[in-house]
Structures are given as structure tokens and as C-alpha cells.
Structure 1
Amino acid sequence: MYGSASTHDLPSTAPTGLENEDPILLAEFEARIARGEKIEPGDWMPALYRKQLTRMIEQHAHSEIIGSLPEGTWITRAPGFRRKMAQMAKVQDEVGHAQLLYSAAETLGKTREQMLVDLINGKSKYSNVFNYPTPTWADSNVISWLIDAGAIVNQLANAKGSYGPYCRALDRICAEEAFHLKYGHDAVVHMATGTPIQRKMMQEALNRWWPAIMTFFGPSDKMSVHTEILMRWKVKMASNDECRNQFLDMYVPKIWEIGLTLPDANLRKNEETGQWEFTEPDWEDFKRVINGDGPCNAERLAVRRAAEENGAWVRRALSAGKTHQYVRPLA
């Protein structure tokens, strides 16, 4: 659902990461990617490729887990049984997406246990948008429609990337996300065309979330040092700015069509360039939230930490079962 580039890129002073690679192996690797071949877990790959893929897939998996929390809190409070059931199914799907992604990341050599430890300790990041509160049902609907829409823009592109396990996971995820997108759009339209109170609630939620949505795809390309090589290796299939512009192309007209407005007086499409113009996001605030100082960072990680602690006995029991065969007692 929530895979994005909304994390820190490496600083501009970072080395290329290719200084110690075998030039012959590197050339063969890049030739395979240029031919459109998939890289599989047992294949040779540059250390930077492995590192950046691990980071990206792991953060995507974390975003699915943490991203299910603000929506999950609305399962019991959703208006009506039909909405409750749909919300429950959606959250269940998101957790299932995390399962697929952790499995894909493990093929690169990092264990799921270590990934979860790094998440809980704040070492590994996840999408910045999930560190904001959802005070109303309308906020949950914004996530269901527009955050999922942004994720699909990223995921459809990266599903055509170079690493086989990640691409196959994204194929499955994107198929389910198509249903999530329809669900979210239906929920937003229902409120936007409903009573004056519903419409006001929907507009206020959109106003709250728009700044975070604009940072969802990550900093502008000029702020990223590795974008060029990662796109050459098809780790990323589109740049942050390209994904952001595609999202605006697809969804701003839909938002306006249902009579909602966007809280950016500078938002307009330059018909000559085909690019959207908008107020530059507050990237310092973005960095602050990514680094753990957002409104809900502590709360979201606390929930994840509690789940890890409460489930420890289950993991111990499963581990014991691998080494101790159950013996049926005599009658």
C-alpha cells in the first residue's frame, strides 16, 4: 500500500559505493539489467544495490504495518456495519502486504527479526505520512483514497523493476490495492456529496492531510544523490518528482470534480511544460517527522512495541515446536 520515497536520501557528500566492486562483474550486472532481465537472490549484485534495495523494501514493509494503525483505530467506529467490514478487510490486506514485503527483503540477507527490532528502536524508517493523527472518519478516508493512490503510483512503476522477489510481491500487492483505491474513493465521494456537516468534515480532513501528501513521494530529485544510479539499476523506476507530478495529474482533477478544494493557492498545471506548480513543501518539517519527532511517532512505535512484546510467547512456542516433537500421552 504505502511504499514511497518519503525517507532521507543519502547526503550529497556520500561516496558512490562502487569503489570496491569488481568492474567485470559490475559490467555484466548492468548489462543484464539493460536487457530487462530480473536479478534473483543468488545472483551477484553490487553492495550498494543490495543495501538500497534492502532499505527500500524494508521501509515499504514497515509502512504497511504502521500504516494500518491509523486506519485500524477506525474499524470499531466506522459508520455502519458495511463500512466496518470493509475497513477490517482493508487493514487485514495491508498487514498481509507487509508479510510479502518482509519475505522479499529477507532474500537480501537481513532477517525479519532484525528488521522489526530496527523499526521499534527507530533505526529503520517508514513513510512520514503515518505519523499524523486521524481525528475523524474523514481522515481515515483521505488515507484510504489519496495515500493509497500515491502508493499505487510508486508500486506500479517499481513492479517493473530489476529485483525479481520485489517485483513479484508488488504484482500481488497492486492487484489488491486496486480494490482499496475504489473503496477509498467511494468513501470520500459519499461524504463530499453528503450533508453539509459531512462535506465540511471531508474538506477539513483534506486540508489537514494535503501537506503530508505532497511530501509522500520524498524530497525533490535535486536533493537526492543516488537517484541516477538507482534508476539506472531499475531499483527506482521513476524519480520522486516524476511520481509526484503523475499523482497530481491523476488525482487533482478528481478532487476538484467532487467539489473539494486544495489548500494551496499556488497549485496549477503549467500547460507548456506539463508540470504542476505548487508551494514548496516544508522539507525541514518532513525531516523532523522522519527522524522521530512527529505528532504520532512515539504513539505508533509504542503500539508496534506492545504487539511485539505481547506476541513473544507465541514466537517462543513456535520455536520450541521446531525442536521438540509432540508425543501423544498414553490413554
Structure 2
Amino acid sequence: MDVLTSFERLSDEEKYEHFMKRIEAGEKIEADDWMPEEYRQTLIKLISMHGISEIMGALPEKEWVPKAPTLRRKLGIMAKVQDEMGHGQLLLRVAEDLMKPYGRNREDIMQDLFTGRLKFHNVFHMPAPTWGDAGLIGWLVDGAAIMTQTNMLKASYGPYARALQRICAEEVFHAQHGEAIIMALAEGTEEQKALIQDSLNRWWDSLLMFFGPASADTTGSSKQDITVKYKIRSKTNEQLRQDFFSKYVPRILSLGLEIPDETMHYDKENETWVYQQPDWNEFKNIVKNNGPKSKDRLDLRKNAYDQNAWVRKALSPDNQAI
């Protein structure tokens, strides 16, 4: 109690210095610990977006559960959809703990999604019209997600770092699931190979946008600098994108596929991949829920949420979302 009293006597500036020393020393911040408002708000926005993206990200693949070509593939993609929904629920629990000081909860997160205040990942606004898309989502989209999430495994916020341990382990299986679909198509007929190339052509810009803009100048946002400052993650958007290129460009080419960017090459002198930038204005438009499938997927999510309100009411006497 004496230690707590001593800490409470500190000024906000002194508390901030103490907080920064803790994360610089590699300590984990817990939900009940003092934290700067900027840190809390950054975490709420990041983890809420991550959780909602896991839930919305299950929808493109959910469409393929009844259409998958074999029973084995149906079971595989069904299990993947269940995992993604579970990831979303786990992350929203983590976000809820951070929101308690504001009297907000899961219901508020969902309403923020439906009103457009809370965004979800750009890739999940896109259509998935072919079985090639289902494979590519698992192989490359989940591959990109693994890079982003493993970058935060040592996040300074303990509950998020611990949740990511489980999520990343399961995402590895998701990527293997997607790769298995792609390899089967690549070893198939010319028509099946063309299916992969068509999917890659349509998804390429979305994959580049997955990691976000390289700098604040592109979108007017400096959130990546804040997350690095607070040791929520260690690499910038561009570093993650370069890692993605280094891992996946050789694999894509090994399948006889073409990168849909004639300018792309590896600059040995600077040890970086040179590539054509996607349209970042389009990126901003997509995440504002103006993507090809934004409305359909939001409507589907809202209808499911409204139709199952009775379940939440039955399980929660005060009718709070759980």
C-alpha cells in the first residue's frame, strides 16, 4: 500500500517517465497498471481493429465452405473460419479490459464497426470469387498476417502479447492450409494454374496495402511511430513489407507465376525490393467502407449480430455483449 501511495503522489510527467523506464526494461504492462492515455488509446484502436478484422476476415472464406471442391477441403476451411472467429473473440476481450475506464464494452466495439468509426483490414473488403482466391487468402494474406503479428509477440502490453502467442501458432496452420490449396492448383491443369495467376493479379495491390503506408506523409497518420515508440511492435510498415517480399516473391516465382509488377526487382546495393506503389488514395477509400464487398460484409455481420441479440440477453442480465 505504501508503494501504491507513493506512486499516486507522482506527477503525470513522473508517472510517464516511470512507465517508459518499465517498457524500456522489457517489463510487461498489465490491464490494471497505470498507462499514458496515448498508450491506452493506441492499444484500444489497434486491438479492436485486429479483433474485428479477424471476425470480418472469416467472411470471404466462409463463402467457400459449401463450395470447396472436396469434403477434406470443406472441413479444412471450416476449421479455419472457426479459428478466425475465435481469434476475434479473444482479442475483443483484451480490448474490453482497456475500455473499462471509459465505461465501454463489446457492444460499443460492435456499434463502432456498424457506424464506420471502427475500421477493419483492407484485404477483407475484397471479393473472393474463385477457389484460387480461397487458397491465396490462406497462403499470402495469412502469411502477411503472421509477419505483422509475430512482430508484436514481444509487445509491451502483456495481455495482447499473450493472446498473440496462441493466434500466431494457429495462423501458421492457416498459411499451410492455403499453401496446400495453391500447390494442388499449381500441379493441376493449365486452367487451374491460370486460376492462381488471376487471383494473384487481383490481390497484389491489396497485399501491398496490407502493411500500411511506408510513412505518415502518405495518409497523414503517424500511428506506426507511436506503436514503435511504446514497444508495441518493433518494425515499421515498410520493413514488414520488405520481409514479405523476401519470403514470398521467390516462392511465387518458383511456381511459374508472374509478379503483377513489371518494375519489381531486388536492389542488391541497397538490399531492398523496388516495387510500384499501390494507390494509397484507393486504400483510404477502401478502409472507409467503400471497397467492393464492404457493404455486403457489414450487412451480413450486422444481420447476424441483430438476429442473435436474444442470446446475449439470455446470457447477460444487464444485456451487455459477451
Q: Deviations over 1:118-156 (max 9, x none)?
A: 111111001011111111111111111100000000111
Cα pair 2:112 2:118 within 8 Å, conserved:
yes
Correspondence for 2:8: none
Residue 218 (structure 1) aligned with residue 212 (structure 2): yes
Q: Write out aligned runs for 1:91-130 (5 A).
A: 91-109=81-99, 110-130=104-124
Q: Write out aligned runs for 1:312-323 (5 A).
A: 312-320=309-317
Correspondence for 1:241: 238
Partners of 1:278 and 1:45 lie apart in 2 by 39
Correspondence for 2:142: 148
Q: Deviations over 1:23-72 (max 9, x none)?
A: 11111110001100000011111100000110000000010111000000
Q: Write out aligned runs for 1:272-283 (5 A).
A: 272-283=269-280
- The one-letter code sitting in structure 2 at the alignment partner of 1:311 is N
Q: Deviations over 1:245-273 (max 9, x none)?
A: 11111111111111111110011111111
Correspondence for 2:57: 67
Seq. identity, %: 44
Q: How many residues align?
A: 302
Partners of 1:106 and 1:272 lie apart in 2 by 47
Partners of 2:52 and 2:258 lie apart in 1 by 31
Gaps of 5+ in 1: 1-20, 323-331
Q: 1:168 aligns with which of 162, 166, 183?
A: 162
Correspondence for 1:4: none
Partners of 1:172 and 1:281 lie apart in 2 by 32
Correspondence for 2:36: 46
Moved more, 122-131 or 223-232: 223-232
Correspondence for 2:179: 185
Q: Secondary structure at the match of 2:151?
A: helix
Q: CA RMSD in A?
A: 1.4
Partners of 2:205 and 2:122 lie apart in 1 by 11
What's the offset of the Cα at 1:222? Answer: 4.2
Partners of 2:318 and 2:291 lie apart in 1 by 41
Cα pair 1:192 1:260 within 8 Å, conserved:
no
Cα pair 2:154 2:232 within 8 Å, conserved:
no
TM-score normalised to the size of structure 1? 0.89
Q: Write out aligned runs for 1:186-201 (5 A).
A: 186-201=180-195
